[in-house]
């Protein structure tokens, strides 16, 4: 029986152990997609308790706690921080096989030097020990980042953001990590949402432009793309319900815009056409500026109306979407952009792992005429899939249908500054998958070649694909 979470955790062969310890473990981290607040890096925030770090905004943990019958007051409510932590500890004990169990104990080991499993019995002692560590001078937000060997972070930012926190970070010579904005224009593209009209007013204020028609809206988005570009942005992100591709005339698009501004109903087809048109505009700008475009699709959000009205979005009530048609829409949209010379480097993520094969085969038709390997990427296992079997499946689907050596690797997609252990988790799984292939005689035991591929997936591919090598000189 292997020891619990020892130095060879998840590594089941000599090949895997060599690849991880001699190659993957030493590579720095680039976290090119996350949801941490740049203001907390700018201010070098300190945490009062481990509860703030772990439960302050982690809807993964909130879902698990609800599944174990924990009352909402001990999750998102007004319970004492220690009481919330004890409730989380009770939950952890039940999470056999869940990635939250692994991540919790990786974080306890890496940041707090605590190797014993977290239980209800030792919860209060662990709570006090973690808080003592968090009080140390080196455990501020920037201290955690430095300790994690993170070299660059891309946050997720709305077009109307003034990026003041990014300016503050860039002007601070004591901040050793590069922090860049990522452009997330979802709110400007959803004419079917009730908050659309109010959002356009904010966009008008920020740009100083009146938005009366589609050309005005396009110009406003291009203006903000230029603003983000001037602040070092290299990547965009689009949250879509499904893959999209629905065309409409300019007159029809202007009518949809007017419906959204006046609060009149916008149909699903009209919404898709509106998003398609604006996505094409943005994609052309991204390509011209050398940005990477990310599409996240396959999610049904806010399924519980009662809890949405009580807690708002991103609180643990989303699910995978099994809507059909992604293959046709995805292929048509990439083709549309390519015909317009508007297809940038693109990473595609679906929350439904059944779409991996679709993405893997569609993207293979659009890898030509690129200045970088893997122009179109099957994104890493995302959200409900970033567990051991989900990562293994994503890696195997990519190996089956693409070129794993060009893969840009893992991200945290997290709101927690302790989540960098997810990169370690991924790298261990990657090395173990490669080790199994070698042990099975499916690839030669060329550890130099394999080690180079592991180092590239862990760091080097990301560095070059996103052009971060222009920043991290």
DSSP per residue, 81-137: HHHHHHHHHHHHTT-TT-HHHHHHHHHHHHHH---SPP-TTTHHHHHHHHHHHHTSG
Amino acid 450: pLDDT? 98
pLDDT at 409: 98
CB 247 within 8 A of CB 185: no
Inter-CA distances, 190 with 61, 159, 194, 273, 466, Å: 29, 14, 9, 10, 27
What is the torsional sign of CA 147, 148, 152, 155?
Answer: negative
pTM equals 0.97
What is the predicted pLDDT for the residue at 316?
95
Q: What pLDDT score was predicted for residue 370?
A: 84
From first to last of its 473 residues, the chain has per-residue pLDDT tens of 899 999 999 999 999 999 999 999 999 999 999 999 999 999 999 999 999 999 998 999 999 999 999 999 999 999 999 999 999 999 999 999 999 999 999 999 999 999 999 999 999 999 999 999 999 999 999 999 999 999 999 999 999 999 999 999 999 999 999 999 999 999 999 999 999 999 999 999 999 999 999 999 999 999 999 999 999 999 999 999 999 999 999 999 999 999 999 999 999 999 999 999 999 999 999 999 999 999 999 999 999 999 999 999 999 999 999 987 899 999 999 999 999 999 999 999 999 999 999 999 999 999 998 889 999 999 999 999 999 999 999 999 999 999 999 999 999 999 999 999 999 999 999 999 999 999 999 999 999 999 999 999 999 999 999 999 999 97
Task: Tell how far CA 362 is from the center of its chain.
Answer: 22
Burial zone of 303 (CB within 10 Å; 0-12 exposed, 13-18 middle, 19+ buried): exposed
Q: What element of type H or E holds 294?
A: strand 292-297
36, 137 contact by CB (below 8 A): no
Six-digit token pair at 178? 């590069």
The CA distance from 228 to 222, in Å, is 10
pLDDT for the residue numbered 218: 98
What is the C-alpha to C-alpha distance for residues 116 and 194, in angstroms, rounded to an integer? 49
Contact, 281 vs 217, CB < 8 A?
Answer: no
Counted residue by residue, the chain has a size of 473
Residue 238 main-chain phi, psi, to 5 deg: -125, 125
Q: Are 378 and 363 in contact (CB under 8 A)?
A: yes
Say if residues 297 and 243 touch (Cβ distance below 8 Å).
yes
């Amino acid at each position: 029986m292997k020891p619990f979470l020892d130095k060879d955790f998840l590594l089941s062969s000599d090949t895997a152990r060599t690849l991880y310890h001699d190659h993957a473990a030493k590579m720095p981290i680039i976290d090119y997609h996350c949801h941490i607040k740049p203001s907390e890096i700018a201010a070098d925030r300190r945490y009062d308790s481990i509860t703030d770090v772990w439960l302050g905004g982690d809807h993964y943990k909130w879902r698990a706690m609800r599944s174990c019958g924990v009352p909402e007051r001990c999750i998102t409510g007004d319970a004492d921080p220690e009481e919330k932590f004890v409730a989380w500890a009770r939950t952890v004990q039940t999470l056999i096989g869940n990635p939250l169990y692994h991540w919790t104990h990786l974080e306890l080991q890496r940041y707090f030097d605590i190797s014993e499993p977290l239980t209800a019995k030792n919860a209060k002692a662990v709570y006090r020990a973690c808080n003592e560590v968090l009080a140390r001078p080196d455990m501020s937000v920037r201290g955690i980042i430095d300790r994690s060997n993170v070299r660059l972070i891309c946050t997720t930012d709305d077009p109307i953001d003034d990026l003041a926190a990014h300016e503050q970070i860039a002007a601070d010579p004591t901040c050793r990590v590069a922090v860049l904005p990522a452009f997330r224009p979802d709110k400007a593209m959803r004419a079917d949402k009730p908050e659309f009209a109010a959002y356009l007013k904010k966009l008008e204020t920020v740009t100083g432009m009146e938005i009366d028609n589609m050309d005005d809206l396009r110009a406003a988005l291009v203006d903000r793309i230029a603003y983000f570009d001037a602040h070092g942005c290299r990547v965009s992100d689009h949250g879509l319900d499904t893959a999209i591709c629905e065309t409409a005339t300019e007159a029809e698009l202007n009518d949809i815009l007017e419906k959204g501004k006046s609060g009149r109903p916008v149909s699903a087809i009209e919404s898709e056409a509106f998003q398609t048109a604006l996505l094409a505009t943005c994609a052309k700008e991204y390509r011209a500026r050398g940005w990477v475009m990310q599409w996240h699709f396959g999610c049904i959000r806010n399924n519980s109306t009662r809890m949405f009205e009580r807690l708002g979005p991103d609180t643990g009530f989303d699910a995978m979407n099994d809507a059909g048609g992604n293959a046709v829409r995805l292929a048509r949209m990439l083709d549309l952009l390519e015909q317009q010379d508007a297809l940038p480097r693109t990473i595609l993520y679906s929350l439904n792992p059944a779409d991996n094969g679709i993405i893997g085969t569609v993207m293979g038709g659009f890898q030509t005429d690129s200045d970088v390997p893997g122009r179109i990427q099957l994104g890493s296992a995302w959200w409900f899939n970033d567990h051991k079997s989900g990562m293994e499946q994503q890696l195997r689907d990519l190996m089956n249908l693409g070129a794993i050596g060009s893969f840009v690797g893992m991200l945290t997609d997290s709101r927690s500054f302790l989540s960098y252990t997810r990169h370690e988790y991924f790298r261990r799984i990657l090395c173990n998958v490669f080790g199994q292939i070698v042990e099975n005689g499916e690839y030669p035991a060329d550890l130099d070649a394999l080690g180079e591929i592991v180092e590239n997936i862990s760091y080097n591919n990301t560095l070059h694909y996103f052009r971060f090598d222009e920043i991290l000189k």
